[in-house]
Amino acid sequence: MQAACLRAFERFPTYRPGSDFRAWLFVILRNEFVSRWRHERRRAAVEQSDGPVLFALTDRCPDLEATLIEQRWSEEVRTALLGLVEAYRVPVYLKDVMGLPYREIAEVVGCPIGTVMSRLARGRALLRGALARQARERGIVGTRRRERAVR
């Protein structure tokens, strides 16, 4: 509806005085609906193609190795995030992934903003620890004792 109102505002000079304003508005609304429906159908067809989509059709030619590494890391971050207790996972997801402000997170979770901030800090610390543990297990970073010995 908002998009249709925006289109009507943009195309108001095309409205002919004396004609049915409501019908003109409904035509814009219908056209907006059809356009969005077609767009979603095309996007769904691309996403359902054979195999995973590594890049969007508008991208230039990305470095395949970098794309695969990025997907691997994003999967590891996702796994670490899912490993958190729900009380910490939800605020971290809503803030760091969805970008919601503290007030909206508090409304979604149903607790005070201070509690959201506390859970967010604890959740991030637990997530950081889980990712560091994964990095040590894979040999990406050494243990602290090794790091100190090298210095």
State residue 99 phi and psi, 5-degree precision. 75, 25
Over residues 31-67, the pLDDT tens digits come to: 787 888 888 887 776 666 555 555 555 555 556 556 6
Judged by DSSP in three states, 113 sits in helix
Over residues 62-101, the pLDDT tens digits come to: 565 566 556 666 777 888 888 888 899 888 888 888 888 8
Contact 92, 116 (CB under 8 A): no
Percentage of the chain lying above the pLDDT 70 cut:
73
Q: What is the CA radius of gyration of the chain?
A: 24
With a threshold of 0.85, does the pTM exceed it? no
In the chain, where the domains are located: 2-47, 68-150
- The count of other CB atoms within 10 Å of the CB of residue 81 is 19
Contact 120, 74 (CB under 8 A): no
**Candidates 3.40.50.970, 3.50.50.60, 1.10.10.10, 1.10.1060.10; CATH matching 68-150:** 1.10.10.10
Alpha-carbon gap, residue 61 to 53, rounded angstroms = 13
Is the model more confident about 1 or about 102? 102
Alpha-carbon gap, residue 90 to 84, rounded angstroms = 9
Judged by DSSP in three states, 52 sits in coil
At 57 the pLDDT is 53
